Amino acid sequence: MTVPVAWYLVLAALLFAIGAFGALFRRNGITVFLSIELMLNAANLTLVAYSREIAELSARITGQMVVFFALAVAAAEAAVGLALFIAIFRQRETIDLNRLNLMRW
Amino acid sequence: MSALDLFWLVVALPFAGAALNGLFLPNRKSLVTAVALGAPGLSLPTALAALWQYGHGIAPAPFEQILWTWNAGELVIPVAFLLDPLSAVMVTVVTVVGFLIHVYAVGYMAGHRGYQRFFAYMNLFMGAMLLLVLGNNFLVTFVGWEGVGLCSYLLIGFYYEEEFPPYAGRKAFIVNRVGDFAFLVGMFALASRYGTLEYRTLFAAVAADPAGAVAPYLLGLSFAGFVALCLFVGAMGKSAQIPLYVWLPDAMAGPTPVSALIHAATMVTAGVYMVVRANVLYQLSPGVALFVAGVGAATALFAATIGLAQDDIKKVLAYSTVSQLGYMFVGAGVGAYTAAIFHLGTHAFFKALLFLGAGSVIHALSGEQDIRKMGGLAKVLPATYGTFLVATVAIAGIPPLAGFFSKDEILAGAFAGGHYVLWGIGLLTAGLTACYMWRLLTLVFWGEFRGTAEARAHAHESPRVMTVPLLLLAVGAVTAGWIGIPSGMTFGKDLNWLHHWLAPVVRPLGGGEAPGLSHGVEWVLIVASVAVAVLGILVARSLWGRRGVAADDAVAARLPGVQRTLANKYWVDELYDATVVRGTWGLAALLHRFDARIIDGLLVNGTRHLTVGIALLSGFFDKYVVDGLVNLVGWLSQTGSRALRRAQTGLVQQYALVLAAGVVALVGLYIVLH
Amino acid sequence: MEIAVFILFALVAVISAIAVITHPNPVYSTLSLIVTLFATAVLFVLLGAPFLAALQILLYAGAILVLFLFVIMLLNLRRQRSTSPRGRGQVTVAALGAVLFFATLAASLLATGRPEPGALAPVSLHQLSRALFSHYLLPFQIIGLLLLVAVIAATVLARRAPAPEEER
């Protein structure tokens, strides 16, 4: 018996929620970044699950293509983000997000 | 072109003379004199010619010459002249006596700096006086009335460099003003009720409705009585009766020709003229007429007593004038209008003569006016003395000189009307008149000279230009009475020409003749008045004839209180000063304080304070409300932004949290709605 | 059989995901994420996307997260003292919020109707690559450009600060 696609969606939602929680409530910048990657991953899962629902091949290909690109973008984003972290760390000696509040009033 | 067509010249010529000398001509003595004498000099024959034509019935009688008409709304005032018996007598007196005095003044004022100014004013006066007597309506007369008042002021104050003359001029003008006010009220009443001020139509209207005029009107008087009283108050001022006589003695500060012309012969008689002109009103209000006679009698007696104790030659004559004017009003009051005008005419001659003679004396003594410093001048100034003597006898009322006839007619009129008290006062006053005039004559011309030797050396008779008018006036003083000889004296033959001449103007209402006297009574009265006059002269002879000036001191020693009262003129001037004058000054001061405190203080300063207050308030408003609003906006922005920017914590996670919450809300909303 | 696999790997994914966000040591967080990604890759296979599963492991787990580790080591990050000084109450609220979030997501995802296509063949590499170089050529090129930009950016951002004189 196949797994209903709905289950995948629920799982993805759960993963996303977990990732969101971490992104919003962890002080460590690296951890937040990881949580964001988690969220991205959950989104990819959603996309793939949806593409499974459609019979038409071109549609399924489209769904997976989007994931492909999302993956690439995630990579680029991770690289730049980490470079930023390095730069910040050199300046401020900390990754604690609560201490990185120069853009305040 | 008859003289009557040129009648307006009689009034216009003096005005032209005044204009020429007053405004245009250079101050060359010959030129000024020519114009100054030419104006009245031409006016006189014109008037006489017109009179001759009038008298011979060439023109309708009475004759009116209208120059133009002034339409003042409902009231129509013609500027016109009236030549009727009354105005004919007046114009004759004014032009003849006026001209003679002008001639005299050429000599008297010669060498004075204001020669041209003097004659300009004199001509102006003549014009105004002629306007007064020749006007055919009350308003034209009033214009002349005011005009002579103005000239009186100008001429009294002629020696304006001194301190007293301007004051005397002001006094005359202001006292006259009181009377003028009443005159105006009377005119207003007449104009409002009858719609016209012309003598002929007005008096005819009044006479046509005697009941209406006699009906009660105001202040317990009938209409006729009210107007008569108002007009008489005006006459009180102009003709110097009690209580408005006080200006006349002080008016002696003017040059002597002025005193002669204005304050003896003409201006002061204007009141008498006016009362006689309006005799219809007085006939309709016997109460007021009696009041007029009473005031006249009181004034006559009052002034005569004062004249007895004066030491200034002109002051004696001034009080004499006041007294004689009183006589005229007695005549007018008792209904003897003809007698009043008669006395006006004779008095003009002998009083003018007396004043000019006094002027001659003053001129000879280089300005001395105190009779205590005179005496024995009969030999030094023969012409002056002679004419002065004639005038004195005339005024004393000795027949056959002029004063007797006119004075006697007044007394007869009073007696005939049953006013025995008035007759008695008149008789007494006649005696006093003779007495003080004889005193004057004695102290000035007889006895020893009491002045300085230097004055004695300088004393000389006046030039002919001054003495000839004296002689001519003396002729008048002698003969003027002969136009009104009472029938009693002529044993039945009616030679009272004046009586007939004036009859049309002074006709008694309701027809008929005024009550007359039997010849017997008349003779008794004549004898009485002559006797009283002679008695007065004898008393004067015994007092001053024997002892000269010392008599004054003797009387003063015997009756100190009386002497002091008379010498101080019953302190009337002092009374007026304390009451009216002080009162007016006080009122003026009060009003000044009112103006300064309330008008200036309250209103002006108050307005200032108010304005400043409003400005302050406005500034306040601007500063705190308007600016406050602006500041409020700024403050709001600042505070708002200060509050809002706290949201910029710089903590990315907080931002993300808010974002997430928003997304959840929106999605939830979407789900709920679908 | 499929369900069992699904449940197993789903649990793994969830547990390791929780580990990612809770573990104080960033290294362990990274490693937990790698596990999660592996589990997700398996699920990809179940869903008929084997290529993506391979890509996921190669790229995501193999490259990106390794990069993460490199950076952690470079920066010498220690374990954190505590999660946050905020206190217990706020974590509960946050957890509740997360639950709410999850519920919302799930509801939205499940809102639409579910077609059941039945058994389907997995998408092959051949098909994907064909599509990639034909229909999706442009996005492909752009992605390349994007990666170039990212590389340059990362290089620039991460280099040492310039000498003081140059900063003026």
A3 and C3 within 8 Å at the Cβ level: the answer is yes
A31 and C21 within 8 Å at the Cβ level: the answer is yes
| A24 closest CB neighbour out of B648, B649, B657 | B657
pLDDT tens for each residue of B234-273: 999 999 898 888 899 999 999 999 999 987 788 888 999 9
For residue B358, give every residue at least 6 positions away whose Cβ sits within 8 Å of its Cβ, in sequence order, or none. B256, B313, B314, B317, B388
C111 and B664 within 8 Å at the Cβ level: the answer is no
Mean per-residue pLDDT over chain B, rounded: 85
Total Cβ atoms within 10 A of residue C145: 10
**Token pair recorded at residue A93:** 């000696």
Q: Touching check for A105 and chain B: CB below 8 Å? A: yes
User: In chain C, whose CA is at the least distance from the CA of B658?
Assistant: C97
pLDDT tier for residue C9 given thresholds of 50, 70 and 90: very high
**Token pair recorded at residue C119:** 């058994």
B648 and A24 within 8 Å at the Cβ level: the answer is no
- Best mutation target among B651, B653, B657, B667 (most C Cβ atoms within 10 Å) is B667
Which of B139-143, B473-477, B505-509, C128-132 is the least confident region? B505-509
Which of B343-357, B416-430, B557-571 is the least confident region? B557-571
Q: What average pLDDT does this structure show over B570-585?
A: 84
Give percent of chain B with pLDDT exceeding 70: 96
In chain A, the largest separation of any two C-alpha atoms, in whole Å, equals 58
| A72 closest CB neighbour out of C46, C114, C143 | C143
Q: Touching check for B646 and chain A: CB below 8 Å? A: yes
Total Cβ atoms within 10 A of residue B507: 17
C101 and B664 within 8 Å at the Cβ level: the answer is yes
**Residue C87: its pLDDT value, please?**
55
Asked if residues A51 and A60 have their Cβ atoms less than 8 Å apart, the reply is yes
Residue B628 amino acid letter: G
User: In whole angstroms, what is the distance from residue B293 CA to residue B660 CA?
Assistant: 126
User: In whole angstroms, what is the distance from residue B358 CA to residue B83 CA?
Assistant: 34
Per DSSP, B626 falls in state I
pLDDT of C140 above 50 = yes
DSSP B634-668: HHHHHHHHHHHGGG--S-HHHHHHHHHHHHHHHHH
Residues of chain C contacting A97 with CB distance shorter than 8 Å: none
Residue whose C-alpha is closest to residue B319's, from B347, B300, B343, B333: B300
pLDDT tier for residue A1 given thresholds of 50, 70 and 90: low
Give percent of chain B with pLDDT exceeding 90: 27
C146 and A38 within 8 Å at the Cβ level: the answer is no
B660 and A20 within 8 Å at the Cβ level: the answer is yes
Q: Touching check for C80 and chain B: CB below 8 Å? A: no
pLDDT tens for each residue of B50-63: 888 777 776 566 77
Position with higher pLDDT, C89 vs B276: B276
**Residue B271: its pLDDT value, please?**
92
C108 and B667 within 8 Å at the Cβ level: the answer is yes
Q: What average pLDDT does this structure show over A31-55?
A: 90
pLDDT tier for residue B274 given thresholds of 50, 70 and 90: very high
How would you write B114-162 as a 3-class SS string?
A: CHHHHHHHHHHHHHHHHHHHHECEHHHHHHHHHHHHHHHHHHHCCCCCC
A67 and C71 within 8 Å at the Cβ level: the answer is no
Q: Touching check for A95 and chain B: CB below 8 Å? A: no
Residues of chain B contacting A16 with CB distance shorter than 8 Å: none
Residue B160 amino acid letter: Y
User: In chain A, whose CA is at the least distance from the CA of C79?
Assistant: A28
**Residue C113: its pLDDT value, please?**
66
C104 and B668 within 8 Å at the Cβ level: the answer is yes
| A104 closest CB neighbour out of B648, B653, B656 | B648
Nearest-CA distance from A7 to chain C in Å? 9
pLDDT of C35 above 90 = yes
Residues of chain C contacting B668 with CB distance shorter than 8 Å: 104
pLDDT tens for each residue of B543-561: 887 777 777 777 777 777 7
- Best mutation target among C108, C109, C110, C112 (most B Cβ atoms within 10 Å) is C108
Chain centre to alpha carbon of residue A57: 27
Residue B457 amino acid letter: A
B651 and A24 within 8 Å at the Cβ level: the answer is no
B667 and C111 within 8 Å at the Cβ level: the answer is no
pLDDT of B370 above 60 = yes
Nearest-CA distance from C168 to chain A in Å? 18
Q: Touching check for B664 and chain C: CB below 8 Å? A: yes
B671 and C101 within 8 Å at the Cβ level: the answer is no
**Residue C166: its pLDDT value, please?**
52
Position with higher pLDDT, C13 vs B217: C13
Q: Touching check for C77 and chain B: CB below 8 Å? A: no
Beta bridge partners of B65: B81
Q: What average pLDDT does this structure show over A46-54?
A: 87
pLDDT tier for residue B606 given thresholds of 50, 70 and 90: confident
Residue B379 amino acid letter: K
pLDDT of B335 above 50 = yes
Give CA angle at B272 (B418, B511), nearest 5°.
50
**Residue B494: its pLDDT value, please?**
61
Chain centre to alpha carbon of residue B629: 76
pLDDT tier for residue B224 given thresholds of 50, 70 and 90: confident
Residue B393's alpha-carbon distances to B457, B537, B554, B567, in angstroms, are 29, 9, 26, 25
User: In whole angstroms, what is the distance from residue B567 CA to residue B554 CA?
Assistant: 14
pLDDT of B423 above 80 = yes
| A13 closest CB neighbour out of C46, C102, C154 | C102
Residue whose C-alpha is closest to residue B329's, from B259, B398, B251, B244: B244
**Residue C168: its pLDDT value, please?**
47
Which of A7-11, B104-108, B444-448, B455-459 is the least confident region? B455-459
Q: Show the domains of chain A with their CATH numbers.
A: 5-99 (1.10.287.3510)
Secondary element (H or E) of residue B83: strand B75-83
**Residue A99: its pLDDT value, please?**
74
Q: Touching check for C102 and chain B: CB below 8 Å? A: no
Residues of chain B contacting C107 with CB distance shorter than 8 Å: 671
pLDDT of B603 above 50 = yes
Nearest-CA distance from B627 to chain C in Å? 45
Listed ranges B49-58, B201-210, B619-628, C7-16; the one with the highest mean pLDDT: C7-16
C150 and A22 within 8 Å at the Cβ level: the answer is no
Q: What is the ipTM of this complex?
A: 0.89
C101 and B667 within 8 Å at the Cβ level: the answer is no
Per DSSP, B77 falls in state E
Residues of chain B contacting C100 with CB distance shorter than 8 Å: 664
User: In whole angstroms, what is the distance from residue B460 CA to residue B477 CA?
Assistant: 25
pLDDT of A55 above 90 = no
User: In whole angstroms, what is the distance from residue B330 CA to residue B421 CA?
Assistant: 11
C71 and A30 within 8 Å at the Cβ level: the answer is yes
**Residue B490: its pLDDT value, please?**
62
User: In whole angstroms, what is the distance from residue C27 CA to residue C30 CA?
Assistant: 5
A76 and C149 within 8 Å at the Cβ level: the answer is yes
**Residue B487: its pLDDT value, please?**
64
Residues of chain B contacting A32 with CB distance shorter than 8 Å: 653
Asked if residues B255 and B108 have their Cβ atoms less than 8 Å apart, the reply is yes
Give CA angle at B661 (B659, B665), nearest 5°.
115
Chain pair A-B, CB pairs under 8 angstroms: 29
B664 and C107 within 8 Å at the Cβ level: the answer is no
User: In chain B, whose CA is at the least distance from the CA of C102?
Assistant: B664
Q: Residue ranges per domain, chain B?
A: 1-284, 287-567, 573-652
User: In whole angstroms, what is the distance from residue B442 CA to residue A69 CA?
Assistant: 159
Position with higher pLDDT, B185 vs B213: B185
- In the three-class reduction of DSSP (H, G, I as helix; E, B as strand; rest coil), residue B54 is classed as helix
pLDDT of B196 above 70 = yes
For residue B658, give every residue at least 6 positions away whose Cβ sits within 8 Å of its Cβ, in sequence order, or none. none
* B318 Rama class: left (phi>0) / alpha (psi -120 to 50) / beta: alpha
